[in-house]
A = this chain, B = another copy of it.
Amino acid sequence: MLGLGDAYAFSIRQYVLHGGKQEGVSLIEIDNGHLVFTVIPTRGMGILEARAGDIALGWDSPVREVVNPAFIDLEARGGLGWLDGFNEMLVRGGFAWSGHPGLDGEHRLTLHGRAGNTPASRVEITVDPEPPHRIRVRGVVREATFKFADFEMATEISTLPGEAAFRISDRLTNRSDYEREFQILYHGNFGPPLLEENAAFVGAIRDVAPFNTYAARDLDSWPRYRGPTGHFDEQAYTLWPYANDDNRTTAMLHNAAADRGVAIRYRVDQLPGLTLWKNTDTRQQGYVTGIEPGSGFPYNRAIEREAGRVPTLAPGASREFELDYAILATRDQVTAVDDEIAGIRAGRETHIHTEPPVKR
């Protein structure tokens, strides 16, 4: 228990879970005096949940345990083993691939790649000695396979005392001597209280297309959410956001009353694709929406490559990804982000496409 603080008393707790498939999982809980969030070093430095006042970011998954990757088999159920551990507010897909399972040439990929089920190394927590005393949790996630991959992601998740916000600053490096394709997906997931009937997604969107034919059915209402709906399953939309002159964009999810929400700010030159995943199934099934900035979309890498959406990293090269998540607790805050997004849009239109953005 560490409490320096000045206006805000903050604290940092590290603990290890025991029992069931949680055995040995390490968690770091940061309380900045207002926002409390939990990082999971054992699961690729994902974020289990974040909470400020009565607003929680995260969701209630049928997967109730924080599962140690030692008990995960990503190959299970034909490459869907990732679903045995999926319950975080934020889990990264990546790095050699980040999309759907199945063959890419002779390589059989598994859902969303391996990053989210890779225990992090060199985990450290620092607090800036000077004001504003930013609190930083750092870790390194490696995906190294002899001859095939040598990725290293240095992540920092940080927050300022008293703020209802946190920042993810990732640096992905190709340590190989060869140019390598990579994919990354920031699979951020939000349930109630933000998600509810008539909750809305707001973004400065240039183009929108359904992920598949089932999603095409409800294309008209793509930015609005249903309440928990039995047998709804999921619909997803692929979005290309507009950005401001600094290449920055903002996306928001707000509740039906537009008085609570979450804002996500990031750079479209770092993360050009944005997937909106509407899993408005019943509460018990996991009522949740994913707002997922990525290097592309979560189709299988073979499809993404064909569409020209698989970037590469030169030998030794790095890419940085920075995302800011802010909890919006009042109508004024939601309205301010709405205005911010309108400013980014600057009157430009959203083009609606009725077909999925794939070549097959």
Contacts and interface: CB of A to CB of B under 8 A. Distances in A.
A121 B177 contact: no
Contacts of A76: 74-75, 110
Contact of A144 (B64, B119, B147): B64
A121 B19 contact: yes
A193 interface: no
Contacts of A80: 145, 148
What 4 A-B pairs have minimum CB-CB distances, sorted nearest first? A20-B121, A70-B70, A83-B146, A62-B150
Main secondary structure of the interface of A (DSSP, over half): loop
Given A24-B23, A75-B75, A282 B177 contact: yes
Nearest to A76: B75
Nearest to A109: B77
A167 interface: no
Contacts of A64: 142, 144
A108 interface: yes
Contacts of A231: 178
A79 to B, nearest CB: 10
B61 A146 contact: yes
A21 B118 contact: yes
Contacts of A281: 177
A174 to B, nearest CB: 10
Contacts of A21: 118-119, 121, 142
Interface in A175-233: 175-178, 230-231, 233
Given A75-B75, A119-B20, A284 B175 contact: yes
Given A61-B146, A63-B144, A178 B77 contact: no
Nearest to A106: B78
Interface string A279-300: 0011111100000000000000
B19 A123 contact: yes
6 contacts: A19-B122, A20-B140, A62-B150, A73-B75, A147-B233, A176-B285
Nearest to A283: B177
Nearest to A147: B83
Given A19-B121, A176-B284, 20 more contacts: A19-B122, A20-B119, A20-B121, A23-B24, A62-B144, A62-B176, A63-B145, A70-B70, A70-B71, A71-B119, A78-B108, A80-B148, A83-B145, A83-B146, A83-B147, A84-B145, A150-B284, A150-B285, A177-B284, A178-B285
A123 B140 CA distance: 32
A107 interface: yes
Contacts of A106: 78
Contacts of A71: 69-70, 118-119
Nearest to A315: B284
Interface centre among A24, A121, A231 (most CB of B within 10 A): A121
A150 B148 CA distance: 33
